[in-house]
Every structure is written in C-alpha cells, then in structure tokens.
A and B are shown apart, each in its own frame.
Chain A
C-alpha cells in the first residue's frame, strides 16, 4: 500500500482538498482545512482533546461536527485513502497500439520554436514513401496483437506536403482493418497553410481527430510562425481552419498554439481563438533549453499561474452566463478538461503516454523511435518497421513508471493525472529520461488546480 496523500489549495474563495489516492475532490471550510493540517490516519471516532485547545477560536461543537465529517470521509476511503500499489505491469508483453507516422520531414513554414528544426528534425528533408507507410501499418497490425483499437497520427514537418501517401495509407488500412478486425483511428496535425477545401473534406471524412497549429493573437502568430514563401499567414490559415471545422460535424478537433517567454499573457491568445470561433483550444508552454531567449524561465512561473487562474475564471464566467442566456461564447481549454469521475484505470495512470512501449514514432526512412520528439536522435533508435525492435536496450529505458521510481513523483498530488510527465521534455532539459522537467511539473500542477476549481464551481452551480 502506498501512503495516504492529500493536497489542499485555495483559489479565490474556494478551499479545496484532493485526496490523491482515491481521486476524490472536496470543497471544505477553513475549520476543516485546519483540522486536516493537524490530522493523520488512522483517525479515532472522537477528536483528540488537544484539538479543542489548539483551535480555541472555534466553538467546541463546531470542531466536533467538522471532525465527525472528516472521520466519515476517512472511513469511506474518500480522504487519506490508501492505494493498492501491487499492480504489476509486464512491459515486455505490452502490444504496440499507436504509431506517429512522420510522413514529411519537410515543412512549408519555419517557426521560431520548432523542436523539429523547421520540419527536418536536424536531418535531411524527405518524405515517407508509400511502401514505408504500408510497412509501418503492417508493423502496427502485427505488433498490436489482440488489441482492437489502434491509432495512427500523421505528423511532420507538415504532413499535407505528402498528402498522397496519407490517402494511400488510409485506403490500405481501411481494407486491412476489416480483414483483421481492427479499428484504426487516424489523426493529423497540420499548420493548415495548405489546407484546401478538398483536403478538408477528405480529412473530415477519415480523421478521428485533427490538430491545427495556430498561435492565438495575430501578432503573436506572425512573429513566431513564418511561411517559407514569405508574407503574413494568419488570415489565410484562420479561413482554412474555419472551413474545415464548420464542415466537421461532431468530430474531434483542436487548435494548438504555443506560448513562449515573449507572450506570457497567453490567456489573451486562448480568448483570441475563442473570439475567432475556434472553441477547442490548447495553448502550450514552449519547451526549450534554458539558454534560449524564448524559453520559459522559473521566474515566469508566478505570472503564468495568474494567467491560468485568469483563464479558469473567464471560463467559469462564460459558462455561467451561457446558462442564463445561451448561446454564450463558451470555449474548451484542453488542460482544464479533466475527468474526475471515470478516468482511466490504474494501469493506464502508471504507464502514462506509452512512449517507447505502446506508442512509437516512424521516421520517413522507416526507422522506429520512442516518440515523435526522439526522432532523429540516433541513441534512441529502436529498429525499423520491417525488422521490428532490434535495440531492446533502448526500449528498456522506457519500461518504467516514474510514479514508482521518482521521489518527486511519489509525493506529488498530480501524479495520477500526469503519470510522471514527458520523457522527452525530461531528456531535452535534463539529459535524463527520468529527471522531471521542473517547469513542466509546476505548470501541470497549476493547471490541475484550476481544472478542479472549475469542477467545484460547476458542482455548486448545479445545487
């Protein structure tokens, strides 16, 4: 059993406590907060007499009543819950269920912060051949074994530069999935510069999810994302995305922007996208070496905390107003959409994203890597789509759960929502797969607190 762990935090007038092991969130008053600070399991049915003198500013009856409620929660395993840490994961037998196909190591844009070095991943500019893409699909069908649901993401660079191979891959997979009783969910990430109506119609028919890269406010976008052909792109890209999502029905999509040290007031970028009618928004902090002028610095964190809080308040306000006089200008912020009731099982929470084991990336050459951010780093090459995994020692580096091995993760309240963070971010900032990227951890925790604040507000609204 792992130790009970509770996390208290206050935002605005809300005093919240998360019971980490049970996943239960409670709104509490100040007296309960003070009691929780002073208590540790196992609890007795009656409060320790010392509590009455320690909290002498409260009437004894109030203390007894509040203590009784906390005692009941503890008894029901909703506060200071234990967690069964005996779950065993056999990494050797995990099937591959997801591939990121780098169909283009080339791009029609060059962005200031691109981790892929303007699309070529620090290597040569090349497109994946149809033969390699089909070999990758066969590798996935073979290595997924009994698994039914599979995912394939078309990525780059800019995948639309190799749209013909995208279509041929989908066509091949649709035929094979029927023969093999598989369900392949295709997704595609694009800068939308070459997103014609014809391509949009095709993607809307075939893609389970679409991710569009756009940075929010026009001036931020134009200063960071440059077309190789020159000229401004914001209006053209916005029009392209609008056509696509307006014809997409209920299918999933996101606009994914990046904020840097130069636009720490990123809540304005989220709202700019919402005002432009793009309501599914994800604006993410850039991850760059600390020496890069665009990198997020530790001294930026306080400002970013306030931005996330501001964004949460704005979301709460708009949803409240929308209920009174619909339709309001609602929006969805990726990291505030958390499932507190029916999230993934404990195995999934321990495994996290699956990089290096369940999720692999395929370079245009057919080389396999642990994820899209490791592509081109030779020390992380796992094998090829035709030969399979030939470097098991690389895979072994990913067969681990940070939640069990990292002291920082063991005591972190966010651990079951974050699963130990991003191995690529850890490596890129600390040259160590398992050493947490501190800035990423800090922002993850803040986003979770804001997401929980929104859930609490919604619960009180429904009363």
Chain B
C-alpha cells in the first residue's frame, strides 16, 4: 500500500481465550499466558 502502512498484526480472533492464568496487572504490556 502506498498511503497506509499497517504497523502490527493482532492475533487472530486472541479474543476469547479466557484461561485466567495471566498476571494481575497494576494490561497494555501484558502478553497472554498461553502464547
């Protein structure tokens, strides 16, 4: 593309894991525990 450069590639629908094993977060820099 000439006019747009997409910076990131979000994990495919990432959205509904809900394993609950991730850290409490005192979210932006967290990575899913299952990845």
Interface positions of A (Cβ within 8 A of B): 16, 22-29, 31-32, 65-66, 69-70, 72-73, 78, 84, 87, 94-95, 97-98, 147-149, 151, 185, 334-335, 337-349, 352-354, 358-359, 371, 416-419, 448, 451-452, 455-456, 459-460
CA distance A24 to B16 in the complex (A): 17
Q: Can you pick out 24 interface pairs between chain A and chain B where the beta carbons lie within 8 Å of each other?
A: A29-B4, A65-B2, A69-B4, A98-B23, A151-B24, A335-B28, A338-B29, A342-B31, A342-B32, A342-B35, A343-B32, A345-B16, A345-B17, A346-B14, A347-B17, A347-B20, A348-B18, A348-B27, A353-B26, A353-B27, A354-B24, A359-B24, A419-B27, A456-B7
Do the beta carbons of A459 and B7 come within 8 Å of each other?
yes
Considering only CB atoms, which chain B residue lies closest to A187 in the complex? Answer: B23
Chain A min CB distance to B31 (Å): 5
Do the beta carbons of A346 and B32 come within 8 Å of each other?
no
Additional A-B contact list (9), CB under 8 Å, known A66-B3, A348-B32: A28-B3, A98-B23, A339-B28, A342-B31, A343-B14, A343-B28, A343-B30, A418-B27, A452-B7
Considering only CB atoms, which chain A residue lies closest to B21 in the complex? Answer: A149
Chain A min CB distance to B19 (Å): 8
Do the beta carbons of A337 and B29 come within 8 Å of each other?
yes
Do the beta carbons of A147 and B20 come within 8 Å of each other?
yes
Considering only CB atoms, which chain B residue lies closest to A146 in the complex? Answer: B20
Do the beta carbons of A26 and B26 come within 8 Å of each other?
no
Across the interface, A338 reaches (CB within 8 A) one of B11, B19, B28, namely B28
Interface positions of B (Cβ within 8 A of A): 1-11, 14-33, 35
Do the beta carbons of A147 and B21 come within 8 Å of each other?
yes
Across the interface, A418 reaches (CB within 8 A) one of B5, B14, B28, B31, namely B28
Do the beta carbons of A339 and B29 come within 8 Å of each other?
yes
Do the beta carbons of B5 and A27 come within 8 Å of each other?
yes
Considering only CB atoms, which chain B residue lies closest to A35 in the complex? Answer: B3
Please indicate the chain B residues that have their CB under 8 angstroms from the CB of A418 in the complex: 27-28
Do the beta carbons of A65 and B3 come within 8 Å of each other?
yes
Most buried by A among B4, B6, B8, B11: B8
Considering only CB atoms, which chain A residue lies closest to B35 in the complex? Answer: A342
Please indicate the chain B residues that have their CB under 8 angstroms from the CB of A343 in the complex: 14, 27-28, 30-32
CA distance A148 to B21 in the complex (A): 7
Do the beta carbons of A341 and B9 come within 8 Å of each other?
yes
Do the beta carbons of B23 and A27 come within 8 Å of each other?
no
Do the beta carbons of A354 and B5 come within 8 Å of each other?
no
Do the beta carbons of B25 and A353 come within 8 Å of each other?
yes
Across the interface, A32 reaches (CB within 8 A) one of B3, B21, B22, B31, namely B3
Do the beta carbons of B27 and A24 come within 8 Å of each other?
no
Do the beta carbons of B5 and A344 come within 8 Å of each other?
no
Across the interface, B7 reaches (CB within 8 A) one of A27, A31, A149, A344, namely A27
Please indicate the chain B residues that have their CB under 8 angstroms from the CB of A340 in the complex: 7-8, 10
Chain B min CB distance to A149 (Å): 5
Most buried by B among A340, A343, A456: A343
A339-B23 contact in complex given A26-B6, A84-B15, C-beta closer than 8 Å = no
CA distance A95 to B31 in the complex (A): 20
Closest 10 CB pairs of A and B: A98-B24, A340-B8, A345-B17, A417-B28, A359-B24, A347-B18, A25-B7, A66-B3, A27-B5, A337-B29
Do the beta carbons of B35 and A358 come within 8 Å of each other?
no
Considering only CB atoms, which chain B residue lies closest to A358 in the complex? Answer: B24
